[in-house]
């Protein structure tokens, strides 16, 4: 039997933020979401999240997570006090308790698996994760014998100069035998520099207490301030890029690009400098993205080319070309081989195969049939000041430069709209529509004479 508890009640004073620390973002998810994800594959029987500072906000951010029990720690008197709050909800629980710090977000699932495996094999009372750091400052130091037995953990601020030279640190990840921990939790004291109840003090009361050292110390980086947040983001981005390079993606300038955990790439994608992929995004094989693109919660099919463009919550069909400087906004679907060119905005619209909107246009709340050719500067006027209305343009139609289509309006197939037209009424298939002042020419006109 396994229960997991994540400590997420602290304020995170060192972040100097209105946001609770565990809700700070990292590669598109919050710290606490990442921590919860790192133990999901262990399929624990119970999953408890200890909340306190801005508890409602933390709970609301995790409302969609099934099976998560929120345990309130109010006020917050330290990590030991946090775990004391589990005495009631875990009363009678006979298994192991995995305790994770809510601010240690880079843990690999395999690392937790190995910790649990050692803990169960050795039948220790507690097994904690440790690392050897070149710069251990800030972390609790772990004092252990060569056989892996831990005698004590001393917080950095409580250490003597001599103790601070110990490079072995506490990662804040522990596997406890719950009944044994429950027996010693009530005897914690506040005898330390912060006057808090430290979970780390239980280690000296449990027998045997063991540790397991992680191979890659980057995994257990704790986030206490903005510098560490940035360092973790960089480490995570590096990990994501390496993964996709191994899967056949070329990054011309990897360090200039960022990915989300939910980004997927097909083979032979070429990513030029300064591209950012967010949310649940998939990029089809052979796409050429960038330089300078932002793609969020979108699907790009095979062979799309995008240059200095922004795509959000949209689907872009195979072989489309976007930009430079195109914006494809939420709710848009482009069929294959569309061209959306410079300074074109497409919003909540569907474009049939082979549509061309090459220059300076706004296409909003519109449905364009196959091969529609939208002339430079064409605008769908979708908003009457109160409501949005749709524009429909049938297959093969062409709009002249600077046309305004005032929605709701429907153009049939193979319609031609004269340049500079403002249309407010429907146009049947095959028609030419002109909605502009007739040109007047006065010959031999020298204009008003001065003087």
Q: Which does 115 bind (CB under 5 to 8 A by kind): ligand UD1, Ca ion, none?
A: none
Nearest of 388, 317, 325, 401 to residue 355 by alpha carbon: 317
Answer whether the bond into residue 39 is a cis peptide, omega within 30°: no
**Nearest-5° angle of CA 394, CA 396, CA 398?**
90
Q: Which of 81, 243, 339, 359 is catalytic?
A: 359
- What is the nearest approach in angstroms of Ca ion to the Cβ of residue 162? 24
In angstroms, give the least distance from the CB of 305 to ligand UD1: 44
If we measure between CA atoms, which residue out of 171, 3, 194, 187 comes closest to residue 86?
3
Give the dihedral sign, CA 262/267/270/273. positive
Of 33 and 103, CB closest to Ca ion = 103
CA distance 396 to 413: 6
Among ligand UD1, Ca ion, none, partner that 313 touches (CB below 5 to 8 angstroms by kind): none
Q: Are 299 and 316 in contact (CB under 8 A)?
A: yes
For the CB of residue 151, give the shortest distance to ligand UD1 in the complex, in Å: 15
The token pair that represents 328 in the structure block:
């494809």
Pairing of strands 96-101, 168-177: antiparallel
Interatomic CA distance for residues 119 and 113, integer angstroms: 10
| Annotated catalytic residue 359 | yes
Is the Cβ of residue 80 or residue 354 nearer to ligand UD1 in the bound state? 80
197 vs 415, which CB is nearer to ligand UD1?
A: 197
Q: Which of 334, 345, 409, 351 is nearest to 378 (CA)?
A: 345
Given ligand UD1, Ca ion, none, residue 303, with its beta carbon under 5 to 8 Å by kind, binds none
Among Ca ion, ligand UD1, none, residue 50 binds (CB under 5-8 Å by kind): ligand UD1
Q: CB-wise, 222 or 317, nearer to Ca ion?
A: 222
Q: Is 431 exposed, middle or buried (0-12, 13-18, 19+ CB in 10 A)?
A: middle
Cβ-closest position to Ca ion: 222
Query: Shortest Cβ distance from residue 229 to Ca ion (Å)?
Result: 12
Give the nearest distance from C-beta 327 to ligand UD1 in angstroms: 39
| CA gap 415, 259 in Å, rounded | 43
Contacts to Ca ion by CB under 5 A:
103, 222, 224
Tokens matching residue 18:
């209105």
Least CB distance from residue 139 to Ca ion, whole Å?
Answer: 8
Residue 236's binding partner among ligand UD1, Ca ion, none (Cβ under 5 to 8 angstroms by kind) is none
Which of ligand UD1, Ca ion, none sits in contact with 38, Cβ below 5 to 8 A by type?
Answer: none
Give the per-residue SS3 of 310-353.
Answer: EEECEEECCCCEECCCEEECCCEEECCCCEEEECEEEECCEECC
Task: Look at residue 229 and give the partner it binds from Ca ion, ligand UD1, none, a contact being a CB closer than 5 to 8 Å depending on partner kind.
Answer: none
For residue 39, what is the enclosing H or E element?
Answer: helix 31-39
Between 56 and 94, CB nearer to ligand UD1: 56
Q: Which is nearer to ligand UD1, 224 or 402 (CB)?
A: 224
Place of tokens 């296409």: 363
Q: Any idea how long the chain is?
A: 451
Cα–Cα distance, 223 to 101 (Å, whole number): 10
Residue 81's binding partner out of ligand UD1, Ca ion, none, with CB under 5 to 8 Å set by partner kind: ligand UD1
Residue 184 near residue 147, CB atoms below 8 Å: no
Taking the complex as a whole, the smallest distance from the CB of residue 296 to ligand UD1 amounts, in Å, to 28
Instruction: Provide the minimum distance between the beta carbon of 240 and ligand UD1 in the complex, in angstroms, as a whole number.
Output: 23
The residue (of 27 and 82) whose beta carbon lies closer to ligand UD1 is 82
Q: Which is nearer to Ca ion, 222 or 354 (CB)?
A: 222
Angle between helix axes 31-39 and 109-122 (nearest 10 degrees) is: 50
* Interacting residue ranges for ligand UD1, rule: CB under 6 A: 7-10, 22, 50, 52, 73, 76-79, 81-82, 101-104, 139-140, 153, 155, 169-172, 198-200, 222, 224
Residues with a known catalytic role: 359
């Amino acid at each position: 039997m396994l229960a997991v508890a994540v400590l997420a009640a602290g304020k995170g004073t060192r972040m100097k933020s209105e946001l609770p620390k565990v809700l700070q973002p990292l590669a598109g998810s919050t710290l606490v979401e990442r921590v919860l994800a790192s133990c999901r594959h262990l399929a624990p029987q119970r999953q408890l999240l200890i909340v306190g500072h801005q508890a409602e906000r933390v709970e609301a951010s995790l409302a969609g997570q099934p099976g998560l029990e929120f345990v309130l720690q109010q006020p917050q008197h330290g990590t030991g006090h946090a775990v004391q709050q589990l005495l009631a909800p875990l009363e009678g629980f006979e298994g192991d308790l995995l305790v994770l710090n809510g601010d240690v977000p880079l843990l690999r699932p395999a690392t937790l698996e190995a910790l649990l495996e050692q803990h169960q094999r050795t039948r220790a009372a507690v097994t904690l994760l440790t690392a050897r750091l070149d710069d251990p400052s800030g972390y609790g130091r772990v004092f252990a014998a060569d056989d892996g037995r831990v005698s004590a953990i001393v917080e950095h601020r409580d250490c003597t100069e001599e103790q601070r030279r110990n490079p072995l640190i506490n990662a804040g990840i522990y596997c406890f035998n719950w009944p044994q921990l429950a027996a010693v939790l009530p005897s914690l004291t506040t005898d330390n520099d912060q006057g808090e109840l430290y979970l780390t003090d239980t280690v000296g009361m449990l027998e045997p207490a063991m540790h397991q050292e992680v191979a890659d110390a980057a995994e257990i980086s704790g986030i206490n301030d903005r510098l560490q947040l940035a360092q973790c983001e960089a480490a995570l981005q590096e990990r994501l890029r390496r993964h996709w390079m191994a899967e056949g993606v070329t990054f011309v300038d990897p360090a200039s690009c960022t990915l989300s955990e939910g980004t997927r790439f097909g083979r032979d994608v070429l990513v030029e400098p300064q591209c950012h992929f967010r949310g649940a995004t998939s990029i089809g094989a052979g796409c050429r993205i960038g330089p300078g693109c932002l793609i969020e919660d979108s699907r790009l099919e095979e062979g799309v080319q995008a240059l200095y463009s922004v795509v959000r919550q949209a689907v872009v069909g195979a072989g489309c070309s976007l930009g430079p400087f195109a914006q494809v906004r939420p709710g848009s679907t482009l069929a294959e081989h569309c061209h959306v060119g410079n300074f074109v905005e497409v919003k909540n619209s569907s474009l049939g195969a082979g549509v061309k909107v090459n220059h300076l246009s706004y296409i909003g709340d519109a449905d364009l049939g196959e091969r529609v050719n939208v002339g430079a500067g064409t605008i769908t006027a979708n908003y009457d000041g109160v409501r949005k209305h749709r524009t429909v343009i049938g297959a093969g139609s062409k709009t002249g430069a600077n046309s305004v289509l005032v929605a709701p309006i429907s153009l049939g197939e193979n319609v031609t709209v004269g340049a500079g037209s403002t249309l407010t009424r429907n146009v049947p298939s095959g028609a030419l529509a002109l909605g502009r002042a007739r040109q007047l020419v006065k010959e031999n006109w020298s204009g008003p004479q001065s003087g």
